[in-house]
Chains A and B, each alone.
Chain A
Amino acid sequence: MSVRDRLLVLLAGVLVLATVAGVAVWRAAERADRKNQVQAGGPAVHAGTVSLAGSGGRRIVFRSMAWGPHRDELASVPAADPEGSRTASGVKCLRFYAAAGTGICLQAERGPVNDTYRALVLDAGLHTTRRVDLAGIPTRARVSPSGHLVAWTVFVGGDSYAGTNFSTRTSILDTRTGVLQPTLEDYTVTRDGKRLRAADLNFWGVTFADDTHFYATAATGGHTYLIRGDVTAKTAVTLRTNVECPSLSPDGTRIAFKKRVPGLSPDAPWRLYVLDLATLRDHPTAETRNVDDQAVWLDDQTLAYSLPGDYGSDLYTTPATPTGTPHLLTPSALSPSWLG
């Protein structure tokens, strides 16, 4: 082939490939635009005021994923009418949690090239009282029952060629003093009485018992552990293995968690379980599908969690016992908190 021929072949190839690439980007942009238009039959959403205060009736505040102008905004619905019209706040969050008038909102910030992430501490009126830049993609957020402590977890991504090494970073912030503990890796962790020190030690999914004690997941060497941590002493001990994304019941006696159940397909390895803290024995819940979420207790008997849905994810509830039936709470919603 002469040089001219080779150049022509290259040109033709580049043209074809550029067309394919252009069409792919165009179609994806169209699809992204559609998400800004209200979906037929989707939840009704209107702009309004959302409050995290204790007064104002029992309600659910969550990230509304319904298509339209208020997509990804914090919204509230009455707890008695979860499928009713949503009041959208104008504050966008990827992950959210609130208790006792304090909210934690993990949100994306549009940069010149890529998105960066930050954690915002919100007061009852959704005003930002503290802002912390994040090292990675938000995944979990929690507030202590008193509203004094907030915690979050982010994924820090792999940086090598086709690399698959991901790590998590979990931080705890005291909203009273403003003191930030940037990573639980600074804690002294003991397992069976011996100090655990490893480069591959990761933490995620904090759930607070009070303003000193919390539970979370720690992982090292391919195992996950339930840990009980002390914020003041900066210590933690492992309690048992195979507990991820713990969530403490309001009465403080049980922990809902996702369990990697042996024998399940590696595509869908997790089931929602409940652990009795007094006996450290666990039992399944009525939900039999794969749950990859940090569940939330509505009350001492019921759990809420998200499952993938047609428009983002949908919220379900289930009894915290092996018997009963899970119910769809509301579609296109994530990160719920029951307030009031």
Chain B
Amino acid sequence: MYVSESRGSTPAAASRSAARGLPRPGRRSAVASTVLALGAVSLITDISSEMVTAVLPLYLVTGLGLSPLGFGLLDGVYNGFSALVRLVGGHLADRGGRHKQVAAFGYGLSALCKPLLLAAHTLPLIGAVLAADRTGKGLRTAPRDALISLSSPPQGRGRAFGVHRAMDTTGALLGPLVAFLILRQAADGYDAVFTVSFCVAMVGVLVLLLFVPSRAREAAAPGDGAERPSLRAAVALLGRRELRGLALCAVALGLATVSDSFVYLMLQRRLGVPDRWFALLPLGTAAAFLLLAVPLGRWADRVGRWRVFVGGHVALLLAYGLLLAHLRAGVLPYAVLALHGTFYAATDGVLMAAAAGSVPAALRSSGLALVQTGQAAARFCCSIAFGAAWTAFGDRSALAGAAVALLASVALSIRLRPAEAV
């Protein structure tokens, strides 16, 4: 499988596997060609988007001479909107089995935002373009994850999501490199970075259109006839015991999941990570995520996704513990980042793999969107509460509170234990 994965990391290779036709669920050696194609699309798209993310502060401050402070004020408002968009994307994709079309629209919208950055020279306009970009991301996520789950055999979903997330993260790590290489060739060449980012994103859209089969309709065919993909049916999904339990636990755990930027801030304040390393901290998380996504996905297939998902939160709890401990050993920051990456590897794709088993194929996209939105909304609430607790009691007490909440949520999740789908 490692062979097929590395071959899948280029569009041409993905297409070669796609060439052999639709997935063969019986074969355990190969990841479905659709998953590889979607992985390639995500990899390419992440290169494109992370190129922009990496140079944006530099562009705003040195390229445009703007002060980007206070820019993040609308983030909160937008996060709520983004959650709605995700639900809409999920629902639209289920109606008529248009997963590919909705995903393509989402990827296309984000791609078109890149050249718009060239025209936007003020903070409000740039903010609007970034909001449109994230709308594209919100729209495409659920249909894409639905396609991954629909094209993988149930017993191999954890691995399929692991492969996809590993490819996705690879793109995220490559993007900044590409951007900085361009700036090496052309000092202040932000316009070149945005143009290349657009071209890369368009390649991603092309790969999606050409090599991802639009076969969700087949999956929604007989057997699922009772589940008409209506809005009511999507909401009624929460009536299913399994999915309700899963969503409930994801929300409870999400309510105790401190956002990445707080984790990095705490790393710096509590463990004394030097200033110049600050920008590199997210890379540490990403590296661990990349390395562990596939092994933990496979492990989840074997021992149960729910177990691995909850186990991932135990890793996060350990990271909180290290941040709270009065230790200053040199390896601690590495350990925290490794645990943080492990948390993502054990939860991000694994939750989707677990949820896929509790949602009928015809409503897969809506169901996954529901769980994702619940989790994202819970994490957003946690951010607000954490910020408020920080203001009122200081950073250490805020984190201690989050740790207690996480411990309670893990205990609740172990007790509730929604039935394992597979």
Q: Please report A residues at the B interface, Cβ cutoff 8 Å.
A: 1, 3, 6-7, 9-10, 13-14, 17-18, 20-21, 24-25, 27-29, 31-32, 35, 94, 113-114, 116, 133-137, 139, 155-169, 182, 197-200, 202, 204, 219, 222, 244, 266-268, 292, 308, 313
User: Quick one: which of B57, B130, B260, B264 contacts A166, CB cutoff 8 A?
Assistant: B57
Which of A13, A29, A162, A266 has the most chain B CB within a 10 Å cutoff?
A162
The reply on B12 being an interface residue by CB < 8 A is yes
Give A18 to B61 CA distance when docked, in angstroms: 29
Give A265 to B123 CA distance when docked, in angstroms: 11
Contacts of B122 in A (CB 8 A): 266-268
Return 10 A-B CB contacts under 8 Å, by A number: A3-B18, A14-B11, A28-B185, A137-B57, A137-B61, A157-B57, A159-B282, A163-B53, A199-B386, A202-B69
B189 x A28 contact (CB < 8 A) = yes
Given the known A-B contacts A10-B207, A266-B123, A292-B67, are A166 and B191 also in contact in the complex, defined by CB atoms under 8 Å?
A: no
Contacts of B210 in A (CB 8 A): 1, 6, 9-10
Contacts of B133 in A (CB 8 A): 162
Given the known A-B contacts A13-B203, A155-B57, A199-B390, are A135 and B261 also in contact in the complex, defined by CB atoms under 8 Å?
A: no
Give A137 to B276 CA distance when docked, in angstroms: 11
Give A158 to B207 CA distance when docked, in angstroms: 29
Main secondary structure, interface of A, reads: mixed
The reply on B327 being an interface residue by CB < 8 A is no
B391 x A27 contact (CB < 8 A) = no
Contacts of B386 in A (CB 8 A): 199
The reply on B206 being an interface residue by CB < 8 A is yes
Closest to B132 in A: A162
Contacts of A158 in B (CB 8 A): 53, 56-57, 72
A32 x B203 contact (CB < 8 A) = no
Contacts of A18 in B (CB 8 A): 199
Given the known A-B contacts A114-B180, A137-B57, are A166 and B66 also in contact in the complex, defined by CB atoms under 8 Å?
A: no
Give A313 to B19 CA distance when docked, in angstroms: 55
Which 5 residue pairs spanning A and B have beta carbons closest together?
A: A157-B57, A28-B189, A135-B275, A28-B186, A24-B195
Which of A25, A29, A169 has the most chain B CB within a 10 Å cutoff?
A25
Q: Please report B residues at the A interface, Cβ cutoff 8 Å.
A: 11-12, 15, 18-19, 49, 52-54, 56-58, 60-62, 65-75, 122-125, 127, 130, 133-134, 137, 176-177, 180-183, 185-189, 191-192, 195-196, 199-200, 202-203, 206-207, 210-211, 260-262, 264-265, 274-276, 278-279, 281-282, 386-387, 390-392, 394-395, 398
Give A206 to B183 CA distance when docked, in angstroms: 31
Which of A32, A158, A219, A222 has the most chain B CB within a 10 Å cutoff?
A158
Give A223 to B262 CA distance when docked, in angstroms: 21
Closest to A308 in B: B65
Contacts of A199 in B (CB 8 A): 262, 265, 386-387, 390-391, 395, 398
Give A241 to B276 CA distance when docked, in angstroms: 32
Q: Output the least CB separation between A24 and chain B (Å).
A: 4
Contacts of A292 in B (CB 8 A): 65-67
Given the known A-B contacts A17-B202, A113-B180, A159-B264, are A24 and B57 also in contact in the complex, defined by CB atoms under 8 Å?
A: no
Contacts of B53 in A (CB 8 A): 158-163
User: Quick one: which of B52, B71, B203, B279 contacts A156, CB cutoff 8 A?
Assistant: B279
Q: Output the least CB separation between B193 and chain A (Å).
A: 8
Contacts of A162 in B (CB 8 A): 49, 52-53, 130, 133-134, 137
B69 x A204 contact (CB < 8 A) = yes
Q: Output the least CB separation between B16 and chain A (Å).
A: 8
B261 x A159 contact (CB < 8 A) = yes
Contacts of A21 in B (CB 8 A): 195-196, 199-200
A114 x B176 contact (CB < 8 A) = yes
Give A24 to B72 CA distance when docked, in angstroms: 30
B124 x A266 contact (CB < 8 A) = yes
Give A6 to B265 CA distance when docked, in angstroms: 47
Give A9 to B11 CA distance when docked, in angstroms: 12
B391 x A198 contact (CB < 8 A) = yes
Q: Output the least CB separation between B54 and chain A (Å).
A: 8
Q: Output the least CB separation between A170 and chain B (Å).
A: 12
Q: Output the least CB separation between B397 and chain A (Å).
A: 10
A25 x B182 contact (CB < 8 A) = yes
Contacts of B188 in A (CB 8 A): 28, 32, 35
Closest to A204 in B: B69
B278 x A135 contact (CB < 8 A) = yes
Contacts of B274 in A (CB 8 A): 133
A13 x B206 contact (CB < 8 A) = yes
A17 x B203 contact (CB < 8 A) = yes
Contacts of B69 in A (CB 8 A): 155, 166-168, 202, 204, 219
Given the known A-B contacts A159-B260, A222-B70, are A35 and B387 also in contact in the complex, defined by CB atoms under 8 Å?
A: no
A32 x B186 contact (CB < 8 A) = yes
B264 x A157 contact (CB < 8 A) = no
Contacts of A202 in B (CB 8 A): 69
Contacts of B211 in A (CB 8 A): 6, 10
Contacts of B187 in A (CB 8 A): 32, 35
Given the known A-B contacts A7-B12, A21-B196, are A197 and B390 also in contact in the complex, defined by CB atoms under 8 Å?
A: yes
B261 x A164 contact (CB < 8 A) = no
Give A133 to B280 CA distance when docked, in angstroms: 14
Give A291 to B262 CA distance when docked, in angstroms: 32
Given the known A-B contacts A25-B185, A113-B177, A159-B282, are A166 and B394 also in contact in the complex, defined by CB atoms under 8 Å?
A: no
Contacts of A113 in B (CB 8 A): 177, 180-181
